[in-house]
């Protein structure tokens, strides 16, 4: 093996990277040296990423880059005081040096901050320093409809109704206030964590002027230009309606109505209103599109008329879309009124009897939102929380050498060489671990009262297992770690997991997390010797180079199951580790604090503070009594991280 020269200050990765059992190859390009844990060299929180409001003194930590747009670079930003996450637009002063450029930005700010509507991106605040202007906006964790469209290409008609109703609500509000958006497109429809649509980007918005006073040109390149705008007759509310029709067409048909390979040809098609309606659309959808995409603006329906069209009135609109619909076709079978969960809950909430209940549509909508909110936030089933299958006990290891030579490296051949066990449904997957921890954490934080201090801690569980050292060498081999029991292990890039027991006498090998082989260390089969070499190397490296990460006492390795690392993720601020026994550990680089979330009924939260003091709490206690800001912020960060990773 090559000698290893570590970075003295490993680089923090700006984007989360993860490795899951069974996933593909290393995502990083080119060889890089491993990053190591807390021998004083964990990646530090980068102080150049702190943004300070010179007036209020508040600071924000600039997180990952969300994208670039216009003059701005956009990032996630966390208020270091409250933990609130924003999407921030950072506009270099150099890009708005000319008075008209600055004027344009200030106008956009003035307009956006005056808008307050459920389906319009919330403008929080803005400030500037010598280098930049910062605009803090509502963070929409599911990005935009453009991302959903990219993954799905076409949406179901009920989904299109769901999104368009929200766009129309926002647009009605704007038009009533005499504001035109002028750049309605999928990328400006942002989607929040709970799948609500928020209209954003008011960079091209303008006040509605009488026909003869309208500006005839538009700066920028709006996406769904109406024919009258191309013909320089000015942009009216009907031109926003046209764009809305183009959005509807794109979502239902998979591509924009006037898309061609050549922009000039596209403009020609728009001016001539030349497009085709695919036959698979419902007749209501075809009819509505045909009325919206009319050449003469005044012939187009108003927003109210659109909502009265049979496409909306006769077709089912779900009250809520499941988050999985961002990437896969959802099952949107309309609930049958007699049997639905909704009916059951409304009946139990309001005591109405079947057939006698008459709920007004608006009330029904509110109720079903309430119910789906409840489902999303509280009634989250802890489905597969079974214990992982018992691994082989160290003492039992009694390999019997095969008499015949089976296929090299196949699980069958390994089974013949060592003691093996196999399971399937009993094993926890990374997704289950994330979901279950997410549920418990979400409930804990959602109902937690404010408090200054943590409640009295419990005794830290005797056999709490946690990672005391780690090395990321995933550009070559994998992720190595040492547990508090002194067991060392590697999660290889290809997904296999190999561990060396704390007494260094037994090797455990898991080609997948449902298969387990164990061997005495001197009887490991030939085909696993390479991986054993890497494991030994990691073990020796951690023994010699790394200090233990915390004050928790080492625990003796028990004869029970030892958890496998299922997945690891590095963000710019923390390392997240998911284990097969349901434990989730998060190491914060900046101050070496750690959170260890273990056991689900109830969830135990162990916090290793800056001063290395370790305290364990039951999540329901924190939920009832509150906790310190130090702990609350970190729990919120873990919640955010798990939400992002689980895609819920
Ligand atoms: O306006 C945005 N919002 C509300 C938003 C923009 C800009 C901050 N974006 C993205 C960032 C890159 C391109 C557009 C957002 N991203 C995530 N949440 C909210």
Known catalytic residue at 262: no
For residue 430, pLDDT over 90 is answered with no
Residue 76 alpha carbon, nearest atom of ligand 1: 17
With the most atoms of ligand 1 within 8 angstroms of its CB, the residue from 144, 193, 644 to mutate is 144
* pLDDT reported for residue 516: 87
Residue 16's pLDDT band, with cuts at 50, 70 and 90, is: very low
As a whole-number percent, the residues of the chain with pLDDT over 90 amount to 54
From the CB of 69, is ligand 1 less than 6 Å away?
Answer: yes
* pLDDT tens per residue, range 594-647: 999 998 778 999 999 988 899 999 998 999 999 999 999 999 999 999 988 876
* pLDDT tens per residue, range 41-88: 444 467 889 999 999 999 999 999 999 978 899 999 999 888 899 999
Alpha-carbon span 237 to 206, nearest angstrom: 11
Domains of the chain: 47-138 (3.30.200.20), 145-326 (1.10.510.10), 338-422 (no CATH), 430-520+545-646 (3.30.1120.30)
Strands 594-600, 584-588: pairing is antiparallel
Q: How far is the CA of 190 from the centre of ligand 1 (A)?
A: 7
With the most atoms of ligand 1 within 8 angstroms of its CB, the residue from 85, 89, 137, 142 to mutate is 137
**Average pLDDT along the chain:** 79
For residue 126, pLDDT over 60 is answered with yes
Contacts of 408 (CB under 8 A, 6+ apart): 526, 527
As a whole-number percent, the residues of the chain with pLDDT over 70 amount to 75
As a whole number, mean pLDDT of residues 104-115 equals 96
More confident residue, 600 or 285: 285
- Contacts made by residues 532-535, CB under 8 angstroms, sequence distance 24+: 532/498, 532/507, 533/1, 534/1, 534/477, 534/478, 534/490, 534/492, 535/480, 535/488, 535/489, 535/490, 535/498, 535/499, 535/500, 535/507
Q: How far is the CA of 196 from the centre of ligand 1 (A)?
A: 14
| Dihedral sign (CA 414, 417, 418, 422) | positive
* pLDDT reported for residue 216: 78
On the 0-12 / 13-18 / 19+ scale of CB atoms within 10 A, 478 is buried
Residue 554's pLDDT band, with cuts at 50, 70 and 90, is: low
* pLDDT tens per residue, range 485-498: 899 999 998 889 99
C-alpha distances in Å from residue 48, one per residue of 59, 265, 418? 12, 47, 52
* pLDDT reported for residue 558: 55
3-state secondary structure (DSSP) of residue 610: coil
* pLDDT tens per residue, range 459-510: 888 778 899 999 988 888 899 999 988 999 999 988 899 999 988 999 999 9
From the CB of 66, is ligand 1 less than 6 Å away?
Answer: yes
Residue 342's pLDDT band, with cuts at 50, 70 and 90, is: very low
Residue 198 alpha carbon, nearest atom of ligand 1: 4
Residue 211's pLDDT band, with cuts at 50, 70 and 90, is: confident
Residue 140 alpha carbon, nearest atom of ligand 1: 18
* pLDDT reported for residue 69: 79
Q: How far is the CA of 406 from the centre of ligand 1 (A)?
A: 56
Q: What is the pTM of this model?
A: 0.53
For residue 118, pLDDT over 50 is answered with yes
Q: How far is the CA of 103 from the centre of ligand 1 (A)?
A: 21
* pLDDT reported for residue 20: 35
* pLDDT reported for residue 382: 21
Residue 201 alpha carbon, nearest atom of ligand 1: 1
C-alpha distances in Å from residue 217, one per residue of 171, 264, 468? 21, 17, 63
With the most atoms of ligand 1 within 8 angstroms of its CB, the residue from 68, 190, 223 to mutate is 190
Residue 121 alpha carbon, nearest atom of ligand 1: 4
Strands 206-207, 179-180: pairing is antiparallel
Q: How far is the CA of 72 from the centre of ligand 1 (A)?
A: 10
* pLDDT tens per residue, range 362-413: 444 443 333 333 222 222 222 222 222 222 222 222 222 222 233 444 555 6
For residue 311, pLDDT over 50 is answered with yes
* pLDDT reported for residue 83: 85
From the CB of 120, is ligand 1 less than 6 Å away?
Answer: no
C-alpha distances in Å from residue 634, one per residue of 75, 415, 589, 595? 20, 43, 12, 8
DSSP 458: B
From the CB of 87, is ligand 1 less than 6 Å away?
Answer: yes
Residue 23's pLDDT band, with cuts at 50, 70 and 90, is: very low
Q: How far is the CA of 191 from the centre of ligand 1 (A)?
A: 10
From the CB of 183, is ligand 1 less than 6 Å away?
Answer: no
C-alpha distances in Å from residue 388, one per residue of 439, 515, 561? 20, 12, 8
Q: How far is the CA of 221 from the centre of ligand 1 (A)?
A: 18
With the most atoms of ligand 1 within 8 angstroms of its CB, the residue from 71, 72, 200, 202 to mutate is 200
Token pair 């992002």: residue: 644
Q: How far is the CA of 198 from the centre of ligand 1 (A)?
A: 10
Residue owning the nearest CA to atom 15 of ligand 1: 87
* pLDDT reported for residue 27: 33
Q: How far is the CA of 74 from the centre of ligand 1 (A)?
A: 7
* pLDDT reported for residue 566: 93
- Judge contact between 525 and 416, C-beta under 8 A: no
The two tokens of residue 82 are 């409250």
Span of 210-224, 233-247, 336-350, 430-444 with lowest mean pLDDT: 336-350
Alpha-carbon span 17 to 57, nearest angstrom: 32
More confident residue, 153 or 347: 153
More confident residue, 563 or 560: 563
State the virtual CA torsion across 30, 31, 33, 37 in degrees, nearest 10: 60
Tell me how crowded residue 289 is: count the other CB atoms within 10 A of its CB. 20
Residue 177: how many CA atoms within 13 Å on its side-chain side? 16
Residue 561's pLDDT band, with cuts at 50, 70 and 90, is: low
Alpha-carbon span 75 to 61, nearest angstrom: 10
3-state secondary structure (DSSP) of residue 596: strand
Token pair 């390999």: residue: 399
Backbone angles phi, psi at 531, to 5 degrees: -65, -35
Closest to 572 measured CA to CA, from 45, 36, 172: 45
* pLDDT reported for residue 166: 97
From the CB of 86, is ligand 1 less than 6 Å away?
Answer: no
* pLDDT tens per residue, range 222-244: 679 999 999 999 999 999 999 99
Residue owning the nearest CA to atom 13 of ligand 1: 67
Tell me how many degrees the CA angle 525-578-373 measures, rounded to the nearest 5.
145
More confident residue, 400 or 342: 342
Q: How far is the CA of 208 from the centre of ligand 1 (A)?
A: 25
More confident residue, 8 or 631: 631
Residue 438's pLDDT band, with cuts at 50, 70 and 90, is: confident
As a whole number, mean pLDDT of residues 206-219 equals 81
From the CB of 191, is ligand 1 less than 6 Å away?
Answer: no
Token pair 């490795």: residue: 19
From the CB of 519, is ligand 1 less than 6 Å away?
Answer: no
Most confident of 8-12, 312-316, 375-379: 312-316
Backbone angles phi, psi at 387, to 5 degrees: -65, 145
From the CB of 186, is ligand 1 less than 6 Å away?
Answer: no
* pLDDT reported for residue 413: 60
Catalytic pick among 79, 183, 240, 572: 183
């Amino acid at each position: 093996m090559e000698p290893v020269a570590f970075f003295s200050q490993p680089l923090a990765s700006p984007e989360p990277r993860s490795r899951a059992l069974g996933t593909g190859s290393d995502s990083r390009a080119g060889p890089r040296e491993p990053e190591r844990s807390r021998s004083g060299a964990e990646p530090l929180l980068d102080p150049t990423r702190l943004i300070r409001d010179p007036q209020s003194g508040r600071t924000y930590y600039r997180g990952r880059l969300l994208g670039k747009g216009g003059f701005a670079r956009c990032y996630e930003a966390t208020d270091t005081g409250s933990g609130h996450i924003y999407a921030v637009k950072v506009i270099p002063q150099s890009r708005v040096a000319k008075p008209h450029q600055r004027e344009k930005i200030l106008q956009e700010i003035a307009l956006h901050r005056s808008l307050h509507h459920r389906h319009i991106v919330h403008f929080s605040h803005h400030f500037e320093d010598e280098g930049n202007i910062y605009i803090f906006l509502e963070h929409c964790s599911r990005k935009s409809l453009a991302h959903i469209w990219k993954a799905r290409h076409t949406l179901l008609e009920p989904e299109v109704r769901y999104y368009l109703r929200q766009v129309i609500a926002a647009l009605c509000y704007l038009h009533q206030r005499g504001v035109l958006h002028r750049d309605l497109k999928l990328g400006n429809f942002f989607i929040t964590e709970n799948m609500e649509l928020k209209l954003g980007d008011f960079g091209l918005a303008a006040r509605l002027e009488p026909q003869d006073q309208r500006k005839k040109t538009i700066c920028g390149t709006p996406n769904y230009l109406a024919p009258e705008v191309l013909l320089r007759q000015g942009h009216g509310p009907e031109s926003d309606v046209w764009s809305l029709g183009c959005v509807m067409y794109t979502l239902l048909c998979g591509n924009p109505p006037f898309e061609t390979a050549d922009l000039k040809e596209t403009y020609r098609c728009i001016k001539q209103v030349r497009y085709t309606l695919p036959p698979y659309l419902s007749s209501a959808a075809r009819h509505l599109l045909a009325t919206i995409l009319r050449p003469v603006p005044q012939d187009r329906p108003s927003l109210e008329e659109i909502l009265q069209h049979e496409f909306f009135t006769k077709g089912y609109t779900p009250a809520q879309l499941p988050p999985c619909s961002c990437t896969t076709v959802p099952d949107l079978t309309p609930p049958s009124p007699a049997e639905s969960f909704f009916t059951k809950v409304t009946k139990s909430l309001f005591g109405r009897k079947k057939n006698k209940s008459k709920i007004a549509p608006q009330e029904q909508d509110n109720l079903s939102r309430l119910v789906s909110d409840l489902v999303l936030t509280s009634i989250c089933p802890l489905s597969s929380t079974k214990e992982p299958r018992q691994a082989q006990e160290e003492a039992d290891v009694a390999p019997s050498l095969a008499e015949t030579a089976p296929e090299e490296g196949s699980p069958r051949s390994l089974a013949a060489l060592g003691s093996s066990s196999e399971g399937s449904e009993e094993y926890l997957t990374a997704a289950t671990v994330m979901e279950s921890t997410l549920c418990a954490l979400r409930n804990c934080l959602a109902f937690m009262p404010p408090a200054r201090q943590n409640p009295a801690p419990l005794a830290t569980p005797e056999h709490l297992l946690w990672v005391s050292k780690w090395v990321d060498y995933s550009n070559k081999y994998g992720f190595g770690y040492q547990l508090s029991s002194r067991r060392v292990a590697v999660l290889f890039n290809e997904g296999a997991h190999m561990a060396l027991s704390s007494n260094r006498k037994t090797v455990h090998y898991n080609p997948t997390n449902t298969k387990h082989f164990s061997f005495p260390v001197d009887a490991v089969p030939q085909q696993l010797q390479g991986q054993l070499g890497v494991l030994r190397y990691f073990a020796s490296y951690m023994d010699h180079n790394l200090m233990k990460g915390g004050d928790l006492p080492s625990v003796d390795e028990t004869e029970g199951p030892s958890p496998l690392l299922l997945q690891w993720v590095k963000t710019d601020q923390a390392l997240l580790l998911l284990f097969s026994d349901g434990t989730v550990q998060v190491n914060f680089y900046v101050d070496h604090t750690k959170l260890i979330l273990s056991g689900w009924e109830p969830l135990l939260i162990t916090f290793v503070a800056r001063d290395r003091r370790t305290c364990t709490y039951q999540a329901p206690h924190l939920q009832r009594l509150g906790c310190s800001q130090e702990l609350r912020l970190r729990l919120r960060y873990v919640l955010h991280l798990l939400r992002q990773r689980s895609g819920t």
